[in-house]
Amino acid sequence: MAFPKKKLQGLVAATITPMTENGEINFPVIGQYVDYLVKEQGVKNIFVNGTTGEGLSLSISERRQVAEEWVRQGKNKLDQVVIHVGALNLKESQELAQHAAEIGADGIAVIAPFFFKSQNKDALISFLREVAAAAPALPFYYYHIPSLTGVKSKSVRAEELLDGIQDKIPSFQGLKFSDTDLLDFGQCVDQNHQRQFALLFGVDEQLLSALVLGATGAVGSTYNYLGKKTNQMLEAFEQKDLASALSYQFRIQRFINYVIKLGFGVSQTKAIMTLVSGIPMGPPRLPLQKATQEFTANAEAKLKSLNFLSFPGLKDGNMEACS
């Protein structure tokens, strides 16, 4: 099957779903959010309704509306909008896949179902194939995140799943790999001879290692607010300036390592993004709980000490305008 679309590459922000204090989706800020990603972070691809977007905590109707709004607001501004349509049941996943096609999304991604879990790759591929078939013209990405789905990376290795996958899923276009098993990831790259697939890495604090192995891009939560810094790392890497790339990666690691120790997840991502972008992301939805004020204060201090908090409208290195 021919896919005229250009390959998904570079940074992809896993979007947050902004919410009001009452826990409803805050649709009106999505337009601003798109502008922020493009102008302030240099990020032009998004991954909607995934982990960071609390996709699995939204109703099907909300997921449809959120997808529609990102596609609408991203028109002529974003390069690609990928919608995560994974669900615990095939029917809902297919409905969301078909909907993504109808609204003109650029791709769909699916996680492994995680209540009844697939015991081997063939069961998983059969599920993925049925979802993909509901939107056969849309590029399809498998979203590998064993730490959250509980589908053990030992029973379903991405590298094995990839082998001959296009025979089974003709619209298969790549992988979002959110795991620290770099042997598995490396072997995905190794067999991608024709470079036909987008192999997107999803552990932001280890991105440089994945680039060395041949990642073609990255999807992550931190690209919402560290997109610009991470793009600098990508540029240094492309220019084969490994020393600078490493220094960017270490600075990013210092921040992520710090917040991981404090307890880091989607709630904390919402708090950090609110702080850095000035756009209110609101609280997460239950069962997640809002980040504490103490967390936010500590994260802010760390961002400042690493010089990661620039004020909107002020360019890096133009801080004298503040005084």
Ligand X SMILES: CC(=O)N[C@H](C=O)[C@@H](O)[C@H](O)[C@H](O)CO
Look at the alpha carbons of 179, 236, 41, 282 in this order and tell me if their dihedral is positive or negative.
positive
Closer by beta carbon to ligand CC(=O)C(=O)O, 244 or else 285:
285
Closer by beta carbon to ligand CC(=O)C(=O)O, 42 or else 170:
42
| Smallest separation (angstroms) from ligand X to the CB of 36 | 18
Structure-token pair, residue 164: 């001959």
- Contact positions with ligand CC(=O)C(=O)O (CB under 6 A) in 18-47: 47
CA-based max dimension of the chain: 62
Is residue 176 flagged as an active site residue? Answer: yes
- Answer whether 31's CB lies under 8 Å from 279's CB: no
Is residue 33 flagged as an active site residue? Answer: no
- Contact positions with ligand X (CB under 6 A) in 27-86: 51-52
Q: Does 219 bind ligand CC(=O)C(=O)O (CB under 6 A)?
A: yes
Radius of gyration of the chain (CA): 19
| Smallest separation (angstroms) from ligand CC(=O)C(=O)O to the CB of 84 | 6
Q: Does 220 bind ligand CC(=O)C(=O)O (CB under 6 A)?
A: yes
| Separation between Cα atoms, residue 41 and residue 58, nearest integer Å | 27
Q: Does 202 bind ligand X (CB under 6 A)?
A: yes
- Answer whether 73's CB lies under 8 Å from 18's CB: no
Q: Which residues pair with 232 in a beta bridge?
A: none
Burial of 218 (0-12, 13-18, 19+ CB in 10 A): buried
| Residues that bind ligand X in the complex, under the rule CB under 6 A | 14, 51-52, 145, 148, 178, 202-205, 220-222, 256
Which residues form the catalytic set?
Answer: 143, 176
